[in-house]
Amino acid sequence: MKKLIIHGPAFTALDADHVQALADCLVAIDDHGWIERVLTPGDQDFERVRQAAKKAGQLRELAKGEYLLPGFIDLHVHAPQWPQAGLALDRPLEEWLNHYTFPLEAKFSDRDFAARVYQDFVHTLLAHGTTTAMMFGTIHVSANLELAAQCRRQGLRGFVGQVAMDNPEETPEYYRDASPAAALRASEDFIQRVQETAGADDLVTPVITPRFVPSCTAETLAGLGKLAAKYDLPIQSHVSESNWESQYAIDHFGMHDAVTLDHFGLLTHRAVMAHGTQLTHEDMGLLKERQTALAHCPISNAYFGNGVLPVHYLLAAGNRLGLGSDISGGYTPSLYHNIRQAVKSSRMLEDGVDSKRPASERGVAASRITVTNAFYLATVGGARALNIKSGQIKAGYRADLQVVSAHSSFTPLSTQDVFERLLYQTEAADIRGVYVNGHLVYEN
């Protein structure tokens, strides 16, 4: 691969509260897809590097109104639920699973169906500026291998999970692992086959994926914890997503959901747990201690979460946290839309929603987050959760990037204004190009 230099203005999060605005920069990408240097006009060789790249045909000059941002990291998304995105969101979680989701996921026993859906799904994520996704597949090894193949073919950095679900009380007969042994065998088979087919600098990582505590037997949860340790792999699941799920662990294991996952070795520094709207402060402390990340899915939570995740509290407490679309509990693959919802939900948490109560008693003080906080979650927070060098425009990081076009303005805007408007107004049509590992994987 040739070296690439991208020239233009850029925004990148430094931490949860600060964004670095680079009014004019050169992002130099080496031939392995890493950002080698970020030069600004103050650098002596800025013009020389730009001219040399231009002469060599290695320069991308951003057009007027275009900005470079890090690619987004979707920490929680169900790839097989893409065909039902935007459907049946008025049903309660348990009913939604049994009447819509499980019948759809069962169809992925057909590899051709899986290939058609996953081809479109991976393309759609890239087209929305997502460069890395942590994904649930289904219980079918062949379909999950198809998802892994699509990530490699189209250039999405994919964390792909073979879903384990074998509890006969909470899963239908037509869509269930036949036994704990079958669930564990399928997980190990998937891991080995992804690893066998991996190329150099591979984009795909297999993920240990107990669907959630209610859908797994204790034997399977324990076995998956051991598999994660044996292969040193990431883990993904759901934690305290709703009142029903939260209560299930208490009723069946006599422990909170988070404590149950920890009991089976599933809360590690490589684990990402979705939602967490019903976590207690003690549960949050346990996640922090284990360095387990939370995937905040604000759109999905508005339908199924029975509450708002206290993002401000978690960031201040030092918990690891990123953002997820949770297709199809969430209806859109766009992390831009989830950034907006994260901000809106936090404002409603702070102010409260029942105006019949006195203003002082309505909400939870100091809950609001800023759009900068949410941008951090979609980039740096997600990368840290996955322990990958991505999500920042900085030397030593992967060149996982998106080029977006700002809407025109009738009045002069400050740099902060431009940044906020980009996050509030960018739609897929405004995304001009997406790079993963320095490769142009999407162009519009």
Q: What is the DSSP letter of 398?
A: B
Of the pair 7, 76, the CB lying nearest Zn ion is at: 76
Q: Closest distance between Zn ion and the C-beta of residue 242, in Å?
A: 11
Is residue 277 within 8 A of residue 308, CB to CB? The reply is yes
Minimum gap (Å) between residue 410 Cβ and Zn ion: 41
Considering only CA atoms, which of 160, 256, 180 is closest in space to residue 222? 180
Nearer to Zn ion, 283 or 326 (CB): 326
Minimum separation from the CB atom of position 208 to Zn ion (A): 15
Q: How many CA atoms lie within 13 A of 235 on its CB side?
A: 34
Looking only at residues 62 through 101 of this chain, which bind Zn ion when binding is defined by CB under 5 A?
none
- The stretch near Zn ion (CB under 5 A) out of 244-252, 269-277, 313-321, 411-419 is 269-277
> Nearer to Zn ion by C-beta: 274 or 339?
274
User: Which structure tokens are listed for 22?
Assistant: 């680079």
Residue type, 90: D
Number of residues near Zn ion (by CB under 5 A): 2
- Which span (36-44, 124-132, 271-279, 411-419) binds Zn ion, by CB under 5 A? 271-279
- Burial of 29 per CB tally in 10 Å (0-12, 13-18, 19+): buried
Question: Which is nearer to Zn ion, 135 or 378 (by Cβ)?
Answer: 135
Distant-in-sequence, close-in-space partners of 250: CB < 8 Å, separation ≥ 6: 256, 257
Q: Which is nearer to Zn ion, 274 or 343 (CB)?
A: 274
Using CB under 5 A, which of the segments 101-109, 158-166, 322-330, 371-379 binds Zn ion? 322-330
CA 154-160-162 angle, to 5 degrees, is 135
Pattern of binders to Zn ion over 280-319, x per CB under 5 A?
----------------------------------------
79 versus 228: smaller Cβ distance to Zn ion: 79
Give dist(CA 348, CA 122) in Å, integer.
33
CB of 274 to Zn ion, least distance (A): 5
Shortest CB 326 distance to Zn ion, Å: 5
Q: How far is the CB of 245 from Zn ion (least distance, A)?
A: 11
Q: Exposure pattern of 316-332 as b/e (b: 16+ CB <10 Å)?
A: eeebbbbbbbbbbbbbb
Q: At its nearest, how many Å lie between Zn ion and the CB of residue 127?
A: 22
- Contacts (CB under 5 A) with Zn ion, residues 365-424: none
For Zn ion, give the closer residue by CB, 310 or 324: 324
Burial 35-71 (b: 16+ CB within 10 A, else e): bbbbbeeeeeebeebbeebeeeeebbebeebbbbbbb
**Among candidate residues 71, 119, 10, 148, the one with its CA nearest the CA of residue 438:** 71
Q: Which stretches of the chain bind Zn ion, using CB under 5 A?
A: 274, 326
